[in-house]
Amino acid sequence: MNRQKSFENDLPTLYLVPTPIGNLNEMSERALEVLNYVDVIACEDTRTSGILLKHFNISKRLISYQNYNEVSSSKGIVQLLKEGTKVALISDAGYPLVSDPGQRVVIDVIAAGFNVVPISGANAVLNALVASGLIVQPFIFVGFLPPSNNDCLRKLKEYKPYPMTLVFYEAPHRIEKMLKNALEVFGDRKCCIAREMTKIHEEFIRGTLSEVIEIADTLKGEMVVVIAGNNDDYEKDVDMSHLLDLVDKAEKRGLSKSEAIKEVATNEGISKNVLYDYVHNKERRS
């Protein structure tokens, strides 16, 4: 067991510091405080991070930490901590480790007995998810799909049965193909593409996969793709009519609809959000 009380010990610490995904005003005071406090900043691209740090008048030693040098860089960071050096890990944009380098060093730093402290901040996954118009919780973050078309299809098929909302990252040159693969595997589910988030050209494109594919080849910028879960298969496995009856009975006892859904979901051991979505979709179809 590893029990870390982050601010009740004097152990050397690795700070995980998110950086803005677009709008620089979203860099928090806490993040700036930490970057000014540490001795060394590990980053993906020293040139990109150098521009960011210069904007905030922060001058620190920068070291490269990327997927291709993760093993050696991780050992180097652990050694710096052993020497009492304070280290922060940042990404080019967004949160370290979330489809960005950092997993290896976090594991190694914990194993070495040092602190790993996260700093709150920007995250493209959550930004896209909460504004998508789809069910937010529960969700599965998949990240980037494999570049090979066959591997991409295979990966999508792994996630096809899940009722949870699915979240992907995608690049503009692959977005059309990715959406066509998703349509082939999932069927014509609801989806949302969030692009250029927090920037002046921020855009959310909401519709079905077939609708969004029609304009996919015109889209630019890094994107987050949010796709509805497989509620159809979920409904086949669960007696949804029985659950609807329980919700109705709970409402007749005086509970509000949301209270009734929560009670039934808890008692029956299913996702509150999936049941909520089903109830409201059923009402719209009625």
Domain locations in the chain as residue ranges: 13-122, 125-231, 238-285
- At 59-69, the pLDDT tens digits run 999 999 887 78
CB 243 within 8 A of CB 264: yes
d(CA 136, CA 142): 15
User: Which CATH topology does 125-231 take?
Assistant: 3.30.950
pLDDT, one tens digit per residue, over 174-222 is: 999 999 999 999 999 999 999 999 999 999 999 999 999 999 999 999 8
Specify the CATH superfamily of domain 13-122.
Answer: Tetrapyrrole methylase, N-terminal domain (3.40.1010.10)
Q: Which of 193, 242, 190, 246 is nearest to 222 (CA)?
A: 193
Read off the pLDDT of each residue in 26-47 and give the average, rounded to a whole number.
Answer: 95
Structure-block tokens of residue 272: 């509150």
Question: Which tokens belong to 275?
Answer: 């049941």
The per-residue pLDDT for 12 is 94
- Check residue 183 and report its DSSP letter: H
The predicted-structure confidence for 108-141, as pLDDT tens digits, reads as follows 999 999 999 999 998 999 999 999 999 898 899 9
pLDDT for res 231: 76
Separation CA 117–CA 78 (nearest Å): 15
Q: Is residue 286 very low, low, confident or very high in pLDDT (cuts 50, 70, 90)?
A: low
Mean pLDDT of the chain: 91
Phi, psi of 255 (to 5 degrees): -80, 150
Residue range 221-228: average pLDDT?
95
Q: First vs last Cα of the chain: how many Å apart? A: 53
Kind and range of the H or E run holding 54? helix 46-55
* 13-122 against 125-231: fold identical: no
pTM, to two decimals? 0.79
